[in-house]
Structure 1
Amino acid sequence: MKTRGTALNPHNRFQPIATDRQANGSWYQDPDDELNPDSLATEVTDDQVRTIISRNQSPDLPFDQSINPYRGCEHACIYCFARPTHAYWDLSPGLDFETRLIAKPNAARQLRRELDKPGYKVSTIALGVNTDAYQPIEKQRRITREILEVLAEYRHPVSIITKGALILRDLDLLSELAAQGLCSVRVSLTTLDNGLKRVMEPRTAAPATRLRVIRELSAAGVPTGILAAPIIPFINDQELEAILETAFGAGAQRASWIMLRLPLELDELFRDWLQRHFPQRADHVMNRIRDLRDGKSYDARYGTRMTGTGPYAELIRQRFNRKVRSLGMDQYETAPLRTDLFRRPGGEQMNLI
């Protein structure tokens, strides 16, 4: 499937009936069959949401509030842990996740309502956690931009994770927020290899472009770091030190890492991807992943789901810590974003009426 991460569309686990298309008892691809094209356009459906801030109590996450302007992600990263969430919308975590997106056009308006509630407690909002807030459709839809405008008006702290160069479009808002201690950015940097990037995360910005994003954000005073994630055994793990060193040279002040996670349908999708692109390594990769997860493809327990366990996980941790120390990145303190500047423009007066 051209420019897509997968050609599979596995059955939605919540649907009782699955349909497989076969001919003469074997799988086939008819080049003239309109139901099996070699490429697909992106479809976007609007959802007028009733809530926009999601909350969690996970001890593994450094935030308890988040906003996702979109469901599904056109970046098409094969490893995306959020793929299984598409099943909640009667869609497949496979190709549907990349091509059938759901936008939230009333997100900014709903955000105002939630921030204006008298009982709202301020804490950093993580923007674009499940799906990238700066995926390609944001260029036209501008939902992320509208959300940032609200957060800037309310002086509300926000942290962003992205692979998209489109974030530079909003440098005016980000630098304004950062000047008040209200913003930080993490650029997800998975590989420095353009060839691997093309098959692993087809519609994301190139590695060199992400390094430019880091440089320009840092130059504008926006605290910027990287997320080396996911670490995939025998696929990109050998790049860890180079990723850290290159990112530091571009201005990244801090870094963190996460091991590959394969919840639910992602297991099947990732194994198919391995067989197509790295058939000679596929068994080796999956065996190491199972070593990390007590013999399973995935273990969702808090405390270990982000890193795995065992000698390989410890080796990655040691390599990461050693390189961060040698670069001096561990000397940068991660100051918490400010919450004391929060205000409700017009909200205080409205409450008095």
Structure 2
Amino acid sequence: MSAENAPVALAPRLEQLLQSLPDPAFAGRLRQVYTAAAQAIARLSDMDLVKYETDSTESGADLSLWEEMAPVIRDTVMDVNVLLNVIREQFPVQAKAQGKIQESSAVLQEAMSQLAQEITQLGEAMRNPSVVSDRWTLLSEVQRFRSAFREHIGNLVYSSISVFGDVSRKETVPGYESEVKAAMTVRAVVADLGRIIAVRLAKVRDAGPTDMQAYAQQAQNELDAFGRTAAYRGLRAQDKRHIIELRGRLGPLATMAAPPKDELVAVVEALDTLVRSLSAVNQRQVLILNDREVWAACGVRLERAMGLVDSDPATAARILAEAAAIGQSLYGRESNMDAFLRKARKASLNTLTGPELRATLEQLQGLLANLGLM
């Protein structure tokens, strides 16, 4: 058996739930589906679109890219179809069941129908001339469909097993933690880039003509550095397209002895607007769900710490430090929270006492409340 087709191990909590089911035959059928789901998610995740990208943002016919991407599109469809075939074999429509088994089976049937519809939609998109004739649009569509397939397959696993017990997605969904980590990396790096670009824009607006080249070169270097990060690799294709376009506009300005100020300001303003728009990463389902869990975990700890401020300040401070550490995964969601989290990295919150301890607890509680996650 090749490495790429080797079975993917299921999460321990998922295995535990399967083993606890009263119907071993049903559990075995579910295990077959979950193993196929894990395999599909792994294969759908294992593609680096960077090698298909280009430094050009020009549109137009690109048959060479279509030839390169055709096997990827074929494999995407095949990977999802393998899972669908397993579901059809293990859970035929005519099968009768009752109670939770029936509920779980219904989830699988509904998910199978949704995935089949998305395969049809993928085929329609790949027959659309406006998609296949433009490199970036094609990359964006392939990326979007593969991401949607991963998300819906993960939902299939979670929704069908959560019928039988109280579980979280990170305990059951294959590849979930990696997906969350990648999205958090994008969010955090984009947040820091946004702060840098905002400062750069203010300086360019106030600078004199003799400083323009230096600022153009600095902005160019900052974009180049961002392009080497893991966060850049995790961006949507169309966002990369816009960044490359702005990098192309910065390049000539950086080589001029005295770049026109109005041109440089316009480019940096466009860059600032683009980076701000990248905060849309917060709308990815994996981050929404993760942030709610983190929000709740922090809130519980802060409530406990507030109750101990007077009677046991040392324990209250330790719990505050724990909450702040957990909250670091929210970095990039909101600027005021980001400022607190940056300070928390350097501060010894577990040593706070008296009014400072209470004030810090109240500050973090207020910041969490303002996130509007529930």
Q: TM exceeds 0.5?
A: no
TM-score under structure 1 normalisation? 0.26
TM-score under structure 2 normalisation? 0.25
User: Which has more radius of gyration?
Assistant: 2
